[in-house]
C-alpha cells in the first residue's frame, strides 16, 4: 500500500458523521495487535509553534477487542430503528476482524 485516506467528518455525503478507525503502532518491539492501539479518529487539526506546523489527530481509543469492528452484542436485541451510523457509539466492546482486507490480515495477527 502506498497511500491510505483516513476520514473524519461530521457530515459524510450530507448525511451521517464518518470517523474512521485506525491502528496506531505504540510499541514496535511487540508483534501484531500486541504493539498497537486501536482508535477512532474524531478530529484532524494542526498548530504552529516556533514556525513549525505540527499535524495532529484527536483519537478516541478503543480496547484491544476492537478494529474492523464487529460489536460484542451481548444478550439483548437491538431496537428495530437502530441505525448503523451509531454502531461505534452504541457498544462497549468490539472484535477485530483480521479478514477485513489483506492489509489488516498482515498486520493484526
Query: What is the reported pTM?
Result: 0.59
pLDDT tens-digit profile of 32-45? 778 888 888 999 99
φ, ψ of residue 88 to 5 degrees: the values are -75, -15
Which of 107, 108, 109, 61 lies closest to 88, judged by CA? 61
Chain center to CA of 81: 24
Residue located via cell numbers 502506498: 2
pLDDT given at position 44: 95
Amino acid at each position: 500500500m502506498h497511500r491510505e485516506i483516513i476520514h473524519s467528518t461530521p457530515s459524510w455525503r450530507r448525511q451521517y458523521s464518518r470517523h474512521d478507525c485506525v491502528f496506531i503502532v505504540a510499541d514496535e518491539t511487540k508483534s501484531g495487535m500486541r504493539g498497537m492501539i486501536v482508535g477512532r479518529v474524531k478530529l484532524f487539526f494542526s498548530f504552529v509553534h516556533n514556525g513549525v506546523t505540527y499535524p495532529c489527530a484527536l483519537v478516541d481509543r478503543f480496547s484491544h477487542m476492537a478494529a474492523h469492528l464487529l460489536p460484542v452484542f451481548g444478550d439483548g436485541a437491538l431496537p428495530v430503528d437502530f441505525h448503523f451510523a451509531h454502531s461505534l457509539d452504541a457498544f462497549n466492546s468490539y472484535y477485530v476482524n483480521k479478514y477485513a482486507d489483506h492489509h489488516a490480515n498482515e498486520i493484526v495477527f
